[in-house]
Amino acid sequence: MRLLYFAWVKEKAGVAAEDIEPPENVATIAELIVWLKTRGPEFANAFARSEVIRAAIDKSHARHDAKIKGAREIAFFPPVTGG
Protein backbone atom coordinates (compact mmCIF):
# COMPACT_ATOMS: atom_id res chain seq x y z
CA MET A 1 0.00 0.00 0.00
CA ARG A 2 1.42 3.36 -1.04
CA LEU A 3 1.14 6.28 1.38
CA LEU A 4 1.48 9.91 0.29
CA TYR A 5 1.83 12.98 2.51
CA PHE A 6 1.28 16.60 1.48
CA ALA A 7 1.91 20.11 2.76
CA TRP A 8 2.67 20.36 6.50
CA VAL A 9 1.79 16.69 7.08
CA LYS A 10 4.63 15.84 4.70
CA GLU A 11 6.98 18.36 6.31
CA LYS A 12 6.29 17.10 9.84
CA ALA A 13 6.42 13.42 8.93
CA GLY A 14 9.63 14.07 6.98
CA VAL A 15 8.55 11.86 4.11
CA ALA A 16 6.57 12.45 0.89
CA ALA A 17 5.78 8.89 -0.10
CA GLU A 18 6.41 5.35 1.15
CA ASP A 19 5.19 1.81 0.71
CA ILE A 20 3.89 0.20 3.89
CA GLU A 21 2.05 -2.89 5.03
CA PRO A 22 -0.09 -2.04 8.08
CA PRO A 23 -1.08 -4.82 10.54
CA GLU A 24 -4.16 -6.89 9.69
CA ASN A 25 -6.27 -5.27 12.42
CA VAL A 26 -5.92 -1.77 10.85
CA ALA A 27 -9.19 -1.52 8.94
CA THR A 28 -10.02 2.21 8.62
CA ILE A 29 -8.33 5.54 7.94
CA ALA A 30 -8.73 6.40 11.65
CA GLU A 31 -7.04 3.15 12.67
CA LEU A 32 -4.29 3.70 10.13
CA ILE A 33 -3.61 7.13 11.67
CA VAL A 34 -3.43 5.60 15.17
CA TRP A 35 -0.95 3.04 13.89
CA LEU A 36 1.12 5.62 11.95
CA LYS A 37 1.50 7.69 15.14
CA THR A 38 3.28 4.73 16.79
CA ARG A 39 6.00 4.76 14.13
CA GLY A 40 8.03 7.58 15.66
CA PRO A 41 7.97 11.13 17.01
CA GLU A 42 7.75 12.70 13.51
CA PHE A 43 4.57 10.78 12.78
CA ALA A 44 3.18 11.38 16.27
CA ASN A 45 3.74 15.09 15.65
CA ALA A 46 2.37 15.11 12.09
CA PHE A 47 -0.84 13.40 13.17
CA ALA A 48 -1.13 14.98 16.64
CA ARG A 49 -4.28 16.91 15.70
CA SER A 50 -5.68 13.96 13.80
CA GLU A 51 -9.14 15.54 13.58
CA VAL A 52 -7.86 18.16 11.13
CA ILE A 53 -6.08 15.64 8.88
CA ARG A 54 -7.84 14.89 5.60
CA ALA A 55 -7.40 11.65 3.71
CA ALA A 56 -7.92 10.30 0.20
CA ILE A 57 -8.16 6.69 -0.93
CA ASP A 58 -7.08 6.10 -4.51
CA LYS A 59 -7.37 9.82 -5.31
CA SER A 60 -10.87 10.32 -3.85
CA HIS A 61 -11.66 12.11 -0.59
CA ALA A 62 -12.28 9.61 2.20
CA ARG A 63 -13.67 10.00 5.72
CA HIS A 64 -11.81 8.73 8.75
CA ASP A 65 -14.23 5.82 9.06
CA ALA A 66 -13.62 4.69 5.47
CA LYS A 67 -12.35 1.11 5.06
CA ILE A 68 -8.85 0.87 3.61
CA LYS A 69 -9.02 -2.73 2.41
CA GLY A 70 -8.02 -3.00 -1.25
CA ALA A 71 -6.67 0.56 -1.35
CA ARG A 72 -3.60 0.98 -3.52
CA GLU A 73 -2.82 4.60 -2.56
CA ILE A 74 -3.75 6.51 0.56
CA ALA A 75 -2.91 10.20 1.00
CA PHE A 76 -2.88 12.38 4.12
CA PHE A 77 -2.98 16.17 4.00
CA PRO A 78 -4.25 19.31 5.76
CA PRO A 79 -7.56 20.94 4.74
CA VAL A 80 -7.10 22.16 1.17
CA THR A 81 -6.42 25.85 0.48
CA GLY A 82 -6.44 26.21 -3.31
CA GLY A 83 -8.50 28.54 -5.46
Q: Is 83 in the site for other proteins (CB under 8 A)?
A: yes
User: Which amino acid belongs to residue 77?
Assistant: F
Of 23 and 79, which CB lies nearer to other proteins in the complex structure?
Answer: 79
Q: What mask of x and - would describe binding to other proteins in positions 31 to 70, judged by CB under 8 A?
A: -------------------------x--xxx---------
Nearest in space to 53 (alpha carbons), one of 31, 24, 82, 33:
33
3-state secondary structure at position 80: coil
Per the DSSP assignment, residues forming a β-bridge with 73 are 2
Q: Is 8 in the site for other proteins (CB under 8 A)?
A: yes
Contact residues: other proteins, CB under 8 A: 4, 6-8, 56, 59-61, 75, 77-83
